[in-house]
Amino acid sequence: MPGWNERVHVLDYDSAVALRYHGRRKEFFSALSRADPALSIVLGSAAFATVLLGHKWLAAASGLAVAFVSAVDLAFGLGDRARRHEDLFRRWGALRADLPVLDENDECALRLLEVKRAQIDAESPWQLEALSVLCENEERLVRRDATSFHVGWMQRALANWFTLPGWQPTEERVPPPAQGMSNA
């Protein structure tokens, strides 16, 4: 079994990555949820204007687009998903906030945090692997880790939607961040 310090480090690292992941998911679903009413207003106005101008086929297309956008929001519960990830973000943040106040070698307190982590994991939705890897890369960069995982441009662009079939992350060395110019 790993030692006390290693277990604290794992909780700290995993909670930091989870915060990044659920923060990104929350913002993604919030943006989609906010886009629905905006698109409905624009497309609904277009439908109304085209009816007045006598372009029935364009009015029908605009009306169909409004129905489609609303159906997507309703079917996928974008606002509910955003709130779910916001709740998970808060819970991971609360767990992470408890780490610095742990007394050295307090096995009971650490075990309670590990149980709390297991409960959060059990209630979390399935994760998108590519997005999770991107979040891990960000955390590694912050911690000045010299390795990260390669994520191609296509998978990076689609990371909030799905992971491409057959995609596997490959570890790579990352050059250290450029240092500022010295005054010498």
Evaluate whether residue 83 is within a structural domain.
yes
The answer on 44 and 116 residing in a single domain is yes
The answer on 148 and 161 residing in a single domain is yes
Provide the CA 37 distance to its chain's centre, in angstroms. Answer: 22
Cα separation, 41 vs 68, in Å, equals 13
Evaluate whether residue 183 is within a structural domain.
no
The answer on 135 and 101 residing in a single domain is no
CB neighbour list of residue 70: distance below 8 Å, 6 or more residues apart: 36, 40
Domains identified in the chain, total number: 2
Residue that is last in its domain, among 89, 105, 125: 125
**Token output for 96:** 């992470």
pLDDT digits (tens, 9 = 90+) for 73-126: 888 899 999 999 999 999 999 999 999 999 988 999 999 999 999 999 999 999
The answer on 39 and 63 residing in a single domain is yes
pLDDT digits (tens, 9 = 90+) for 19-57: 999 999 999 999 988 887 777 777 777 777 777 777 777
The answer on 84 and 52 residing in a single domain is yes
What predicted TM-score, i.e. pTM, was given to this entire model?
0.82
3-state DSSP assignment of residue 79 = helix
The answer on 108 and 19 residing in a single domain is yes
Q: What is the pLDDT of residue 40?
A: 77
The answer on 114 and 44 residing in a single domain is yes
Q: What residue numbers bound the domain in which 110 lies?
A: 4-125
pLDDT digits (tens, 9 = 90+) for 138-184: 999 999 988 999 999 999 999 999 999 998 988 888 765 565 544 44
